[in-house]
């Protein structure tokens, strides 16, 4: 999973890597903690998405309530925006006006080709199995 995220999300000038201060959704995946460390707290819990705070970026054990997977596989409209579905949003939710989170509801990646289905499945299985950070093992 780390390799998939590093390759597809953190290359120079990508949405979640590149020059400091120039990352989408306040999510830097090329920092010293790496992609996995950016998605999970030190205790292994998911961290809230800045785009949709009711949902964690990764909810260990539950891929269907993980914002990362909503962004990767959610159904989209003709403009590439994710449409409401089983994931939400909660009734009455309005995206905030945080300039660091302007892409609420846009499918990832926003540019380039979608991740191959096998890579999305790999991420889904990793989350379903508890999203373990086993880089040091």
CA dist 64 and 53 (Å) reads 15
Q: Which two tokens stand for residue 103?
A: 């892409």
Full-model pTM: 0.74
Residues facing residue 106 across a β-bridge: 81
CA dist 81 and 10 (Å) reads 22
pLDDT digits (tens, 9 = 90+) for 24-68: 555 655 555 666 777 777 777 888 888 888 888 889 999 999 988
**Contact in structure between 52 and 67 (CB atoms under 8 Å):** yes
- Exposure class string for 38-51: b at 16+ Cβ within 10 A, else e: bbbeeeeebeebbb
């Amino acid at each position: 999973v780390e390799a998939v995220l590093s390759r597809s999300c953190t290359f120079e000038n990508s949405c979640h890597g590149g020059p400091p201060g120039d990352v989408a959704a306040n999510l830097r995946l090329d920092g010293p903690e790496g992609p996995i460390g950016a998605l999970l707290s030190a205790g292994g819990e998911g961290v809230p998405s800045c785009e949709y705070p009711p949902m964690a970026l990764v909810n260990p054990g539950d891929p269907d309530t993980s914002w990362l997977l909503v962004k990767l596989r959610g159904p989209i409209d003709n403009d590439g925006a994710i449409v409401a579905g089983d994931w939400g949003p909660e009734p009455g939710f309005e995206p905030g006006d945080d300039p660091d989170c302007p892409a609420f509801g846009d499918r990832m990646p926003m540019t380039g080709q979608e991740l191959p289905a096998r890579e999305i499945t790999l991420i889904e299985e990793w989350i379903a199995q508890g999203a373990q950070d086993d880089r040091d093992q």
